[in-house]
Amino acid sequence: MRNKFFVFLILLLFVLIPKPDSVQAEVRHLNLEGEINNAQYKFIEDNLEQAEKDGVDLFIIEINSLGGFVDPALKIRDSIFAAEIEVITFVKGRAWSAAALIALAGDELYISPSASIGAAETRPKEEKYISALRKEFAVTAEHRNKNPEIAEAMVDSSLEIEGIIGVDKLLTLTAKEAITTGIADYRLSSLAEIAQVKSFNLNEITKVEKTNLEKIMGIISNPYASSLILIIAFSALIFEALTPGFALGGTIGIISLLIFFSSHLFIGSIGNGIIILFIIGIILILAEIFIIPGFGIAGISGIISIFISLFFIFPNTTIAINVLLAVIISTLLLAVLMFKKIGTSRFWKRISLENNSKDFYSSSSKKDYLNKRAKTLSKLRPAGTIKIDNKRIDAISDGSFIEKGTDVEVISVSGSKVVVRKIIEEE
């Protein structure tokens, strides 16, 4: 009886103790699809950090991307290198261009039989860019004990590797070629096969997906969407300047700028310094319009500050220049159309020193005003308005800045041009 009890206990323990092939392991998995950009970097960086905090055993990045921008790809590569957990890159479809760099960064690189990796030619195709990216690929491959020359050949078509790639051809590897050359570690079709190789339970995989906010911010921060938002913002502010009061145009303009900066701040492509520089630029332009006479250092400095702040938001120089040119040209065209359709407003006239009041007077014959005294109704910098014989007329100072409410004397009349000089009372 006692022997039967021990046999039963042994059988029970055998059933309850998990088998070696079902070892529990916490695994995280995310898809890297579409363009490689700062939003993708933010998504991967945040989830890698969270996985480390949660004590995850394995992190799988499944890749199907035609590439994108180099800078965020480098940051993703660096994040993978710095991770304190094992990271597997799994090329499910294509890992071209910047995506190939990310694929090479994994502790192990798995590739689907129908997948390919490579084709990392730079845009623009210039030697300095080719040389820099080629070495980044080489360093990445060396870090994972892979052949750096093969990685370099994905970037530089001038490289020739006997039996693999000829000169003037850019290297792209099939799954079989990636295994043969040692670039990939395993040729597997699915997560289930990865689970078998790594000895974990498929049901233990936690799939990480982007939140709706992350998706929206990724779309808004795209250079094309950013260009459109900036065009809307600046055009709306110009519309506000052409129409009385602060209403629709000003509201849309400010909201558009808030959306633009918040999206880039969210994905980590800018810091507070860029936003501060932009605000300084706006303040300088407003100061030039309302406080400082003429259009000089403050106005020019404000414009430069705004464009510098916008320039450094985008991932590279080419994109930044293209975006800014598109914004400037489109905004100017819309401004001209609005000016023709709407005309000037009280705000605009205040800036341009015009007035439609009934007591405004303009005549081509003003010789009678010569040597007469008048009083300035606005600042003369150098143009403005004066009141003479109870009539308002356009006038220009003799070169000096004259404050509003100053007594002046007409010293010259030429056609409709009236020149005045400040009267200095003798003591």
Return the percent helix, strand and coil in the chain, to nearest 5. Answer: 50, 20, 30
- Compute the average pLDDT of residues 385-402: 84
> Residue 295 — very low, low, confident or very high, per pLDDT cuts 50/70/90?
low
Residues 197 and 257 in one domain: no
- Compute the average pLDDT of residues 373-402: 85
- Compute the average pLDDT of residues 402-406: 88
Contacts for 288 with CB less than 8 Å, ≥ 6 apart: 295, 296, 298, 299, 302
Task: Give the end of a domain, one of 193, 210, 227.
Answer: 210
Find the domain containing 339 and state its range: 214-348
Task: Give the end of a domain, one of 210, 236, 261.
Answer: 210
- Strand-pairing partners, residue 94, are 116
Q: Residue 175: which region, alpha, beta or left (left: phi > 0; alpha: psi -120 to 50)?
A: alpha
Residues 338 and 357 in one domain: no
Number of domains in the chain: 3
Query: Taking 70 as the threshold, does the pLDDT of residue 7 lie above it?
Result: no
Q: What is the pLDDT of residue 400?
A: 77
**CATH classification at residue 64:** 3.90.226.10
pLDDT 10s digits, 200-224: 988 889 999 999 999 999 999 998 9
Query: Taking 80 as the threshold, does the pLDDT of residue 181 lie above it?
Result: yes
Asked if residue 357 is part of any domain, the answer here is yes
Task: Give the end of a domain, one of 210, 231, 262.
Answer: 210
**CATH classification at residue 385:** 2.40.50.140
Residues 48 and 110 in one domain: yes
> For residue 263, how far is the Cα from the chain centroid?
8
- Strand-pairing partners, residue 207, are 29
143 backbone dihedrals φ, ψ, rounded to 5°: -60, -30
Q: What is the DSSP string of 140-202?
A: HHHHTT--HHHHHHTT-TT--BTTTB-TT---EEEHHHHHHTTS-SEE-SSHHHHHHHHT--G
| Residue whose token pair is 């980590």 | 268
Query: Taking 50 as the threshold, does the pLDDT of residue 396 lie above it?
Result: yes
Token couple for 246: 């602060």
Contacts for 145 with CB less than 8 Å, ≥ 6 apart: none
Q: What is the pLDDT of residue 37?
A: 92
Query: Taking 80 as the threshold, does the pLDDT of residue 426 lie above it?
Result: no
Token couple for 158: 């001038």
Asked if residue 10 is part of any domain, the answer here is no
- Compute the average pLDDT of residues 238-249: 73
Residues 198 and 222 in one domain: no
Asked if residue 127 is part of any domain, the answer here is yes
Rounded (10°) angle between helices 98-105 and 127-143: 20
Residues 221 and 341 in one domain: yes
Residues 94 and 29 in one domain: yes
Residues 236 and 357 in one domain: no
Query: Taking 60 as the threshold, does the pLDDT of residue 410 lie above it?
Result: yes
Contacts for 65 with CB less than 8 Å, ≥ 6 apart: 32, 33, 34, 35, 36, 94, 95, 96, 98, 99
- Compute the average pLDDT of residues 180-186: 96
Residues 316 and 341 in one domain: yes
- DSSP E strands: which ranges in 195-251? 205-208
- Which H helix or E strand runs over 4? helix 2-16
Residues 267 and 192 in one domain: no
Alpha-carbon dihedral 96, 56, 201, 208, rounded to 10 degrees: -50
Asked if residue 6 is part of any domain, the answer here is no
Query: Helix (H, G, I), strand (E, B), or coil: what is residue 23?
Result: coil
pLDDT 10s digits, 366-385: 777 888 888 988 888 778 88
Query: Helix (H, G, I), strand (E, B), or coil: what is residue 236?
Result: helix
Alpha-carbon dihedral 171, 172, 173, 174, rounded to 10 degrees: -150
Residues 238 and 331 in one domain: yes
Residues 44 and 154 in one domain: yes
